[in-house]
Structure 1
Amino acid sequence: MPKRFELTAQLDHDVRDVHAALTDARYWQGRLEGSATATLQIDAPDGPGSLRVAISERTEPADLPPMVRALVRGPMIMERIDRWGPLAGNGATGEIIGGTSGIPVSFRGRTRVLPHGSGGTVLDVRGDVSVEIPVVGRQIAALATRMVAQIVERDRDALAAWLTR
């Protein structure tokens, strides 16, 4: 059974600047700079002002929560695809899709950047986490939902750092 999530993160930067960062290949390349376990693919499927980013990252069993470690043999590959459309009106929409190898966990959500307050932006992510494991599926879904929340928090922090450089 899918577990629904609704996450928001606020930035003290204009929505146009946030969108420009999210659709800039250099921003994403900088995010993974120095990571020996991540790969990145970037393209602009919908033309200027759009971007599709696919990230794949390997996590060793020792770095996983004990409950997950008990279910996985060897390293886990976590995959994430972000897709952003062009700025339209006062914001932009996109999607985030992800999953893992080793255990049947996936997530999918709609993403939006919208103006917030005077000159700020809110990053809004709403979607579902699905886990297809009998008995412990709910517990894994709760962990996966926290993982998505951490992704959004890291995105906010990385965007803030990129925009204040």
Structure 2
Amino acid sequence: MSRKISFTVQYNVPVEDLHRAITNDDVWQARFAEAATATLDLSHPDGPGTIRIHMTETAPADKIPSLVTKVLKSDLVLERTDNWGPLAGEIAKGDFKGASKGITTEMEGTYELRPTAAGSEVEVVGTVAVKVALVGGAIEPLVENLLHKVMESERKHIEAWFANQDA
């Protein structure tokens, strides 16, 4: 069974600037510079103004909810691949796929970057499935919450990156 997910992340950055940051290797390398258990693979298979971001990270044991630790088979390794297309007018679209090792989870969906009165936003729509008997349905909201937290952390990083560019 799977659970539908949907949320929006607000940015105080104009669409053109945010898209330029999202497709910039330097932004992602800075984001992962201090992540000791993470890997990052960046490519631009569809040319300039696009990006494929493949990330993996081993979750620290003290950050894993107890419900999840009870069913873990090994270290919890999270994996996500984002693909962002070019900016077309004031909209850019992307997609994501995620999975984990240690507990079988899968997530996938789409992104839409668009303008707002205060800057821009990224709408996230997709599904998450946790393949664990009896408790999978209880873990799925935790996975959705984790994705939301990660994307909020990415927002803070990108906005700080812009602030440092202006300094």
Residue 144 of structure 1: SS of its match in structure 2? Answer: helix
Residue 31 of structure 1: SS of its match in structure 2? Answer: helix
**Structure-1 residue corresponding to 2:77:** 77
- Return the letter of the residue paired with 1:4: K
How far apart are the structure 2 equivalents of 1:30 and 1:21?
A: 12
Residue 35 of structure 1: SS of its match in structure 2? Answer: coil
How far apart are the structure 2 equivalents of 1:123 and 1:116?
A: 10
> Displaced runs of 4+ in structure 1, greater than 6 A?
none
* 1:140 maps onto 2:129 in alignment: no
How far apart are the structure 2 equivalents of 1:40 and 1:94?
A: 18
**Structure-1 residue corresponding to 2:129:** 130
Ranges in structure 2 where 5+ consecutive residues have no aligned partner = none
**Structure-2 residue corresponding to 1:30:** 30
Q: What is the TM-score of this pair, normalised by structure 2? A: 0.93
Q: Deviations over 1:120-141 (max 9, x none)?
A: 1011111111112221011111
How far apart are the structure 1 equivalents of 2:154 and 2:62?
A: 24
Q: Give 1:46 shift.
A: 0.4
Q: Between Structure 1 and Structure 2, how many residues are aligned?
A: 164
Work out whether residues 61 and 74 of structure 1, in 8 Å CA contact, stay in contact via their aligned partners in 2. no
Q: Give 1:74 shift.
A: 3.2
Q: Deviations over 1:32-90 (max 9, x none)?
A: 01111001000001001000010110124333111111111332110011110011111
RMSD: 1.2
How far apart are the structure 1 equivalents of 2:120 and 2:57?
A: 28
Q: Give 1:94 shift.
A: 0.4
**Structure-1 residue corresponding to 2:163:** 164
Residue 52 of structure 2: SS of its match in structure 1? Answer: strand
Percent of counterpart pairs with the same letter?
A: 33
Work out whether residues 74 and 101 of structure 2, in 8 Å CA contact, stay in contact via their aligned partners in 1. no
How far apart are the structure 1 equivalents of 2:17 and 2:2?
A: 34
Work out whether residues 93 and 113 of structure 2, in 8 Å CA contact, stay in contact via their aligned partners in 1. yes
* 1:103 maps onto 2:103 in alignment: yes
Q: Give 1:97 shift.
A: 1.2
Q: What is the TM-score of this pair, normalised by structure 1? A: 0.95
Residue 139 of structure 2: SS of its match in structure 1? Answer: helix
Ranges in structure 1 where 5+ consecutive residues have no aligned partner = none
Q: Give 1:107 shift.
A: 0.9
Work out whether residues 91 and 113 of structure 1, in 8 Å CA contact, stay in contact via their aligned partners in 2. yes
How far apart are the structure 1 equivalents of 2:91 and 2:163?
A: 20
Residue 48 of structure 1: SS of its match in structure 2? Answer: coil
Work out whether residues 7 and 152 of structure 1, in 8 Å CA contact, stay in contact via their aligned partners in 2. no
